[in-house]
Amino acid sequence: MTKAPPAKRPRWKKIYLRVPLIYAGIGVLWILFSDRVLLLIVEDTEELTRLQIFKGWFYVGVTALLLYLLLRREVRKLEASHRALAKSEAKFKAIFNQTFQFLGLLTPEGKTIAANDTALNFAGSEADKVFGKPFWETPWWTHSAAVQEQIQHAIQRASEGQFVRFETTNIGEQGEIIDIDFSLKPVYGRQGEVLYLIPEGRDI
Which segments of the chain does DSSP mark as H helices, in order?
11-41, 45-98, 117-123, 127-130, 145-159
Domain 99-203: homologous superfamily in CATH: PAS domain (3.30.450.20)
CA angle 143, 149, 151 (to 5 degrees): 85
Picking from 74-83, 89-98, 170-179, which range would have the lowest pLDDT averaged per residue? 89-98
- Residue pLDDT, tens place only, 173-190: 889 999 999 999 999 988
Does 147 have pLDDT greater than 90?
yes
DSSP secondary structure letter of residue 113? E
In the predicted model, what is the mean pLDDT of residues 118-132? 91
Interval 4-45: pLDDT, tens? 444 455 555 566 677 777 777 877 887 778 777 777 777 777
